[in-house]
Amino acid sequence: MQDLPDDAGWWGYSMRDVPSRPKGETFIATIPDATVVTCIDGEGEFYPAILTKDGKSLEMREIRFRNLHAEHMRSSPPVRRLAQATWVCERVYDNHSHWLSAHLPKLSLLTREGRSASILLPEKLTGTMQASLEMLGLDPADHQRFRPGEVLKVGTLTVVGTDRFRGELLRPVRERMTASAQGRGKGRRIYISRRKAKVRRLVNEDEVWPLFEAAGFQRYDMEDVSFVSQVEMMAEAEALAAPHGAGLTNMIFCPSGTHVFEMAWLGFPNPNFYALACAMGHRYGIVGTRPVGGGPENFRDMEVDADAVRHGLAEMCRSMDAA
């Protein structure tokens, strides 16, 4: 497998830093007379901010007051008053990866603590969001909703702070959501394709897929698999391979010790899947790719060297056979 790069890039920590990376604290806090400002920018991206009654902004992961919030409030947006609510949504809550790794741990924690009744959910839920809430035992119909763009005045607001890669927060999610899959078969080798994705496709997948197939992998397009089926599938895995992308977040549902094989461009290194693998107790390896085409660095298509894949697979298979 590839040596890990030292570049911290966007993330503030490098792949080499993952084993020793300090974890952020976990907390549940209550704020009286809070204001939640939600707005959509010109590109359709959602941004939340939380203000205390004296106008101070909370600085949390993906939740902070920005210039666009000030501009939004000057535009006299609709204001709604709630007696109490629990806020869990971050900037990219509707992204598959962020929902699984950043939001489900909060929801699971609140459920275990008996504090889920006042959770405020988005007006629109993706299929993954709907199914995962139900698998955690939460019925979306029982919860208040918010509309992006409105300002909420909340008498008692509860907020939850977590680190995305704390095993003690992620493992209860796996235990709850894979409970129905216990006793099913094990040993599946799963390859997640990005051939139907709009970005970050592996342009020579047809060249390297036979190598994975020969190693016993089954190929899936996650767009064609229901979320419940994805969870059940992952609960049976001994190996998970994919080009860099949100589908790899499904390793949350794999048994501890699963072998994870990522293919990614190391010129723009993203350590998050390695951090997630460590949190879940998996064995992780990466093979570097080459970027193809232009556009934003984190969205470029990729090409991988077939020999590098062959060597990486051989190393992984030896490790699995020896286990």
Q: Are 264 and 213 in contact (CB under 8 A)?
A: no
**Domain, as residue range, for 91:** 27-162
> Within this chain, do residues 240 and 115 fall inside the same structural domain, yes or no?
no
174 is a domain residue: no
> Within this chain, do residues 133 and 206 fall inside the same structural domain, yes or no?
no
- pLDDT of amino acid 183: 55
> Within this chain, do residues 197 and 257 fall inside the same structural domain, yes or no?
yes
* Residue-by-residue DSSP string for 186-231: --EEEEE--TT-SSS-BTTHHHHHHHHHHTTEEEE-GGGS-HHHHH
Classify burial at 64, counting beta carbons within 10 Å of its beta carbon; exposed 0-12, middle 13-18, buried 19 or more: middle
On the question of pLDDT at 102 being above 90, the answer is yes
Span 99-109, average pLDDT:
98
Provide CB contacts within 8 A for 204, sequence distance 6+.
303, 304, 306
CATH at 241? 3.40.50.360
Domain tally, the chain? 2
Classify burial at 2, counting beta carbons within 10 Å of its beta carbon; exposed 0-12, middle 13-18, buried 19 or more: middle
11 is a domain residue: no
- pLDDT of amino acid 199: 94
Q: Convert the pLDDT of each residue in 222-280 to its tens digit.
A: 999 999 999 999 999 999 999 999 999 999 999 999 999 999 999 989 999 999 999 99
Which pTM value belongs to this model? 0.94
- pLDDT of amino acid 298: 87
> Within this chain, do residues 305 and 249 fall inside the same structural domain, yes or no?
yes
291 is a domain residue: yes
Domain end call among 108, 132, 162: 162
318 is a domain residue: yes
Beta-strand pair 79-87/151-161: parallel
- pLDDT of amino acid 249: 98
> Within this chain, do residues 47 and 139 fall inside the same structural domain, yes or no?
yes
> Within this chain, do residues 38 and 135 fall inside the same structural domain, yes or no?
yes
Domain end call among 162, 195, 210: 162
Span 25-32, average pLDDT:
96
Q: Convert the pLDDT of each residue in 147-163 to its tens digit.
A: 999 999 999 999 999 99
> Within this chain, do residues 204 and 158 fall inside the same structural domain, yes or no?
no
Classify burial at 227, counting beta carbons within 10 Å of its beta carbon; exposed 0-12, middle 13-18, buried 19 or more: buried
* C-alpha to C-alpha distance for 264 and 287, rounded to whole angstroms: 7
What mean pLDDT, rounded, does the chain reach? 94
177 is a domain residue: no
> Within this chain, do residues 200 and 135 fall inside the same structural domain, yes or no?
no
- pLDDT of amino acid 217: 97
- pLDDT of amino acid 1: 63
Span 106-123, average pLDDT:
97
220 is a domain residue: yes
Span 131-146, average pLDDT:
96
pLDDT confidence tier of residue 33, bands split at 50, 70 and 90:
very high
> Within this chain, do residues 190 and 317 fall inside the same structural domain, yes or no?
yes
> Within this chain, do residues 151 and 188 fall inside the same structural domain, yes or no?
no
Helix, strand or coil, per DSSP, at residue 261: strand
Counting residues of the chain whose pLDDT is more than 70, the rounded percentage is 98
Counting residues of the chain whose pLDDT is more than 90, the rounded percentage is 87
- pLDDT of amino acid 322: 81
> Within this chain, do residues 188 and 157 fall inside the same structural domain, yes or no?
no
52 is a domain residue: yes
> Within this chain, do residues 122 and 243 fall inside the same structural domain, yes or no?
no
- pLDDT of amino acid 295: 86
- pLDDT of amino acid 184: 65
281 is a domain residue: yes
Q: Convert the pLDDT of each residue in 309-323 to its tens digit.
A: 999 999 999 988 887
